[in-house]
Amino acid sequence: MASGLPRALALAAVLAAGLYFVWLGPAAPPGFIRDEASVSYNAYTLSQNLHDQNGGLTPLYIKSFGDYKSPLFVYVLAGVFRITGPSKHVALATAGLVVFAAILVLGLLAWRLTRSRFVTVATVVLAALTPWLFELGRTAYDTVIEPLTIALVMLAAHWGYSSHRHWLVRAAPLGLALAALSYSYAAGRLLSPLWAAALVVFVSRDRLRWLLATWGVYVVAMIPLVVYAFVHSGALSARYQSTTFITGGMSRWTIVRDFWAHYVHDADLGHWVVSGDPKPYIHVHGAAQLFIATVALAAVGVVVVLVRRGDDPFWAFVIAALVLSPAPAALTVDRYYSLRLLPIPVLLTVLAIPALDLLRRDWAPRIALCGLALLVAAQYWQWLHNYNLNNGGRVTLFEAQVPPLLERGFSGGRTVYIDHDDVYAQTMALWYAVSHGLPAARVSILPDGGRPPKGSTAFGRFQTCDYPCTHFAEADTYWLARAH
C-alpha cells in the first residue's frame, strides 16, 4: 500500500536531490586530474571517429598511462560528447548523473520492496547525502559507473526472483547486470564472479532454470573480456600485479592471514563513519565518508530481515554480496581505498530499506526516524564544513595549476611540442586543446630523437628536454620550456 506522502511532494524531493547531486558548485575538486583528462580525451576521440587516443578502433578497454580503463563510462561520455562537445563541466556533470542514476535505481528497488513513496524518497535522499557517493559524483573516473551496475544487479536479482515472467526473460537482466559489473571497474572483474556464485542462495526446484539461464547469459557476456585478456596478455592483470600484497615465496598461511587482516581493516564501518579514505582522490580525509545513521539503519535492516524474512533468498543474496564486497580490496596493499570498496555504501543503503519501512509504521518509530533525520543533517553539515575547509589542499593533487600553465604555453597562437614518451604531458595538452576549441595541430608530438624548432615552446612532466632548452614556467611537476 502506498504511503501517505503526497506524490507531488515525493517528486519534488527526488528532483531536489537530483539537482543537488549534479550541481558541481564549490564542492567539486579544484582541478581535473590526469586520469580524468585521459578518460575524457579518449571519450572525445571515440566520439569523433570511434578510435581511442592510441588509434585503437572501438577498444574493449582503453589504455591509459600503462593501465587499462574500464569501458562503460568512457563510451557513455563519448555519446554525450558527440552531442555537447568536449568539456570538463560536461564530463563532471555526466559523472554526477551516472551516480545519481544508481541512486534512482535504489529508489526503484525500495518501491518494489515496500510500495511506499516515503521509503522510496527516504532511500533516494539518504543515498544522495552519503558523502561516499556524493564525492564520487564530483569526479570523472571510469569508476563512477560501478554503483549503477551494482544497483542494477540488486534490482535485477529481486525482479528475477519475484517476477512470474518466463525464466529466460528474467535471466537476461541479471546476467547482463553481473557482466556489466565486470566491465565497470577493475575490482568488478573479481566481484562479479563472486556475486554470480552467491546466486546459489536462490536455488530451488522452481528457480533452477532461471538460475542456470542467468549463469549462461553471464558467461556469454563475459566472453569478450576473456578473449581480450587472452589476446592482450597481462593487460587486465597489470593493475592487480602492481597493487597486490601477494609476492613470490609467501606461504599460503601468510596470504590467508594478511588477506583476513586487510579484510577486517577495510570492512571497519567505524573508520568510514569517522574519517574515510586517507587518499584524497575522492574524499577529503577527516570527516565521515559514511553517516552513522546509514550504518544504524542498515544494522536494523539486517535484524528485520533475519527476524521477519529469514527465508527470503533475496535478502540472503544482499547480505552475501556485502560480505564478499571487501575481497578485491583485501588483495591489495592499499587500506581504506574507497574506489575499490564502492559496494559498501550501495549495499548498506539497500539494507536500510527494511528499517525505513519499519520506522514509518508507528508513532514511536517515527520519533526515532525524526532523530535519525536530525543526525543525518548534523553529520552532513559537519562533513560539508570539513570538505570546503580542506578541499583547497587538493589543488596540487588534482593538478589545478596545469590549465593556466597550458594557457600560457598556447598563448599567441603558439604550438606546444611534447616528447614522444611523455604520455602524461601529451594527455593533459591534448585534452586542454580539444576542450578549449584549439586545433589538434597545436599539439605536436615529437618523434623519438626529434627536436622542436628553435624558439618554440615545449611542455613536459618529470623528465627534462632531450635537447637544449630553458625552463621558464612550472606548475606542480609540469613545465614549459623554450627550445634553443
What would the mean pLDDT of 10-26 be, rounded to a whole number? 78
Assigned domain for 1 exists: no
Q: Is the pLDDT of residue 25 over 70?
A: no
Q: Is the pLDDT of residue 456 over 50?
A: yes
Q: Is the pLDDT of residue 20 over 90?
A: no
For residue 409, what pLDDT band results from cuts at 50, 70 and 90? very high
The more confidently predicted of residues 188 and 393 is 188
CA Rg value for the chain: 24
Q: Is the pLDDT of residue 1 over 60?
A: no
Are 343 and 461 in the same domain? no
Are 384 and 433 in the same domain? no
CA distances from 198 to 31, 166, 318 (A): 40, 22, 9
CA distances from 428 to 70, 143, 431, 456 (A): 20, 20, 5, 19
Q: Is the pLDDT of residue 44 over 80?
A: yes
Are 234 and 315 in the same domain? yes
The tens digit of pLDDT for each residue in 206-215 reads 899 999 999 9
Domain boundaries, position 421: 402-483
For residue 232, what pLDDT band results from cuts at 50, 70 and 90? confident
Assigned domain for 19 exists: yes
Are 312 and 453 in the same domain? no
Listed range (104-108, 196-200, 364-368) with the worst mean pLDDT: 364-368
Please check whether residue 244 is in contact with residue 186, taking contact to mean a CB–CB distance below 8 angstroms. no
Q: Is the pLDDT of residue 2 over 60?
A: no
The more confidently predicted of residues 250 and 160 is 160
Select from 419, 479, 426 the least CA-distant residue to 449: 419
Residue with C-alpha cell 549503477? Answer: 148
What would the mean pLDDT of 375-400 be, rounded to a whole number? 73
Of the candidates 374, 394, 414, which is a domain's last residue?
394
Most confident region among 23-27, 149-153, 158-162, 336-340 by mean pLDDT: 149-153
What would the mean pLDDT of 432-449 be, rounded to a whole number? 92
Helix, strand, or coil (residue 479): strand
Are 358 and 430 in the same domain? no
The helix (run of H) or strand (run of E) holding residue 376 is helix 363-390
Assigned domain for 2 exists: no
Assigned domain for 91 exists: yes
Burial of 318 (0-12, 13-18, 19+ CB in 10 A): buried
The pTM for the full model equals: 0.92
- Phi/psi of residue 416, each to 5°? -105, 130
Are 406 and 369 in the same domain? no
Of the candidates 347, 362, 394, which is a domain's last residue?
394
What would the mean pLDDT of 56-71 be, rounded to a whole number? 89
Total structural domains within the chain: 2
Are 425 and 315 in the same domain? no
Assigned domain for 73 exists: yes
Mean pLDDT for the chain overall: 89
Are 113 and 130 in the same domain? yes
- At 112 the pLDDT is 95
Q: Is the pLDDT of residue 27 over 70?
A: no
Q: Is the pLDDT of residue 199 over 60?
A: yes
For residue 297, what pLDDT band results from cuts at 50, 70 and 90? very high
Of the candidates 337, 371, 394, which is a domain's last residue?
394
Q: Is the pLDDT of residue 4 over 80?
A: no
- At 368 the pLDDT is 67
- Alpha-carbon distance of 55 to 46, in angstroms, equals 10
- Alpha-carbon distance of 324 to 77, in angstroms, equals 30
Are 330 and 441 in the same domain? no
% of the chain with per-residue pLDDT over 70? 94
- At 317 the pLDDT is 97
Are 23 and 158 in the same domain? yes
Helix, strand, or coil (residue 67): strand
Are 81 and 190 in the same domain? yes
Assigned domain for 472 exists: yes
Q: Residue 354: what residue type?
A: P
- At 426 the pLDDT is 93
- At 332 the pLDDT is 92
- Alpha-carbon distance of 131 to 382, in angstroms, equals 11
Are 353 and 408 in the same domain? no
